[in-house]
A and B are shown apart, each in its own frame.
Chain A
């Protein structure tokens, strides 16, 4: 199902000589960087066709997202939910489960955290409120994946469709909850009650960077280690690589499938909580950043490797913060980032294919 898992598994297992390793590393770097550079050139051509100077645009994005102190802090804050979503997808994809419903899981968990936090903060200490909100968000995220999980595990229904459907359902349902159930009576803007800035996730040192970044980093690394170093992770990878073989090996495939959905969706839920508790403090009606489908390409680009995912999430955050700034200043809507991601993803698939062909030819 997922070609990438097969590719990543044997790496590092053979140890190999130092020269071979560095050659392999160069190859991987080339495979990862080449599609990005090519995509930047192609997307630059699109900008040119629209009458925008691509160099000025890219320069502006880099300046705003990376080199400018405040922009860099925003970039690092943006990484928090994206890292948790990446962790969510790494678990799922390595286990051969296409959880494309993370946007719905993210959004509903965000609403849960946004509704719960202001209600609890009056009667509980701040840290306990935050912890309870994280637990609730993870639970809500996982809950939103129960139907696709059971359908996939026990009925064999394709989870791509069901998770996508649950996302569409979840986006509307989140709006219903915000507008009808958790509406803040104090404002005219349809949104949930706001968590005061002082009670949100603490900031790192004396920056504006949310400590959600640490949560995200820990999650990605933990997930990476879980999938590569533990017996549980190995079982999940076997299920992903070959479910039939997994059955013969005596693995409880259906239960493991449900477990994968639960972990993946709970992580997506945590991403929603981090975004609300760390950045916004409330959920507005019709708010849907749709981070999920943007993280899918990143995770593929990283070949389901947690450490590589951190690098790509950072790069994407620069693009995304800089792109939002460019939308206001240069009049290029942030949809451009979407186009760029799509081109990168397609080129990545092409490069992967060419490399595979070349290596196959080399072996023969």
Chain B
């Protein structure tokens, strides 16, 4: 275990934490947005997977990663649109529809993948990075943090954007009200259903880009069921962050580090069975919930459809 703290190990750990953490970050920020607006988005796992599949297909046929991300956003948004239509507009049970969407996307993407790529399992070329001058020269952190694909910087910048929206804009207040006191928002002349619909679709876009990141940058290929619970971890991050985007980032990096332990430990020559390592992030989630469970908070009207005039 002495060789554990070498530069190579630390670099691969931080590098992996970012690679695994970015999809979680995007999912967590997206879920946070939905939950703020009062929609418990259980379908986010399906949105991520749809983003991963559509994103991969788009990137594969266009050989452009950017079109891949656009495709991922579209894929996530398409699933979100169904969710918004059924749950926000018509007030169907958010949990039932969320489960159904996740199951459906899992089945559909696996099915399509089987017919399209089932024999070939094509890979994308490794993503080209955009090194930030000076910073990327830093030891250990440089290559892991500042020599990455621009979407990594973009995702981290989203934290600041979301924080700004929540704190400083009317839109942020509207979102908050849609989740806590939808009736008050309605009285103030803002359409609750529209606000929530917009929030859910924005969630789909973020989750979709997160999924596309997993497929196109993380793995370089699409594998059925590849999101493996990342969307659900995103839900936990949103629950624990209590509305604060920065906390989502912190959580995403911690869980990302857990997820990337396998490769980092292999680099260090430590051989722990992958099944044990795969338990790490989920064990961490449960530990965090046991310790901070009471403090996890969710908006008052979460999960309840808003019907004007109904009580």
Contact = CB atoms under 8 A, between A and B. Distances in A.
Contacts of B111: 46, 50, 332-333, 335-336, 339
B44 to A, nearest CB: 12
B108 A339 contact: yes
Contacts of B235: 161
Interface in A173-205: 173, 175-176, 179-180
B264 interface: no
Q: Identify the interface centre among B90, B95, B97, B282: most chain A CB within 10 Å of its CB.
A: B282
A151 B290 contact: yes
B107 A342 contact: yes
Contact of B239 (A158, A179, A294, A339): A158
B293 interface: yes
Interface stretch (B155-163, B200-208, B243-251, B272-280): B272-280
Contacts of A157: 289, 293-294, 296
Contacts of A208: none
Q: Is the interface of B mostly helix, strand, loop or mixed?
A: helix
Interface string B83-95: 0001000111101
A169 B106 contact: no
Interface string B116-134: 0000000000000000000
A350 B86 contact: yes
Nearest to A157: B293
Contacts of B285: 165
Interface in B97-150: 97, 99-101, 103-108, 110-112, 114-115
A221 interface: no
A297 B279 contact: no
Nearest to B304: A1
A162 B286 contact: yes
A134 interface: no
A98 B282 contact: no
Contact of A342 (B104, B112, B290): B104
Contact of B42 (A3, A160, A168, A353): A160
A161 B293 CA distance: 12
Contacts of B289: 151, 157, 161-162, 165
B279 A172 contact: yes
Interface residues of B, number: 47
Given A157-B289, A158-B239, A173-B279, A179 B296 contact: no
Contacts of A316: none
Contacts of A338: 103-104, 106-107, 110
A343 interface: yes
B273 A180 contact: yes
Nearest to B302: A158
Interface in A310-348: 332-333, 335-343, 345-346
B228 to A, nearest CB: 8
Given A165-B286, A169-B283, A297-B100, A349 B86 contact: yes
A166 interface: yes
A164 B115 CA distance: 30
Contacts of A1: 303
Given A339-B104, A342-B100, A168 B229 contact: yes
Contacts of B275: 172-173, 175-176, 179
A80 interface: no
B96 A345 contact: yes
A293 B229 contact: no
A296 interface: yes
A214 interface: no
A342 B42 contact: no
A94 B289 CA distance: 25
Contact of A165 (B82, B92, B103, B236): B236
Interface string A141-167: 000000100010001111011101110
Interface in A1-47: 1-3, 46
B298 interface: yes
B97 A346 contact: yes
B134 to A, nearest CB: 41
B108 A158 contact: no
Nearest to B118: A333
A343 to B, nearest CB: 7
A51 to B, nearest CB: 8
Contacts of B303: 1
Greatest chain A CB density within 10 A among B92, B100, B104, B290 is at B100
Contacts of B112: 50
A165 to B, nearest CB: 5
Interface of B: 42, 82, 86, 90-93, 95-97, 99-101, 103-108, 110-112, 114-115, 224, 228-229, 232, 235-236, 239, 273, 275-276, 278-279, 282-283, 285-286, 289-290, 293-294, 296, 298, 303
25 contacts: A2-B93, A46-B108, A158-B296, A161-B235, A161-B239, A162-B286, A165-B229, A168-B228, A169-B286, A176-B276, A179-B273, A300-B96, A333-B110, A333-B111, A335-B106, A335-B224, A339-B104, A339-B111, A342-B104, A342-B107, A343-B104, A349-B92, A349-B93, A350-B92, A353-B90
Instruction: For the complex of A and B, list the 5 residue pairs with the smallest distance between their C-beta atoms, beginning with the closest.
Output: A342-B104, A338-B107, A339-B107, A345-B100, A335-B110
Given A172-B275, A294-B103, A339-B107, 7 more contacts: A158-B298, A164-B232, A168-B282, A172-B282, A173-B279, A296-B99, A342-B107
Interface of A: 1-3, 46, 50-51, 98, 100, 147, 151, 155-158, 160-162, 164-166, 168-169, 172-173, 175-176, 179-180, 293-294, 296-297, 300, 332-333, 335-343, 345-346, 349-350, 352-353
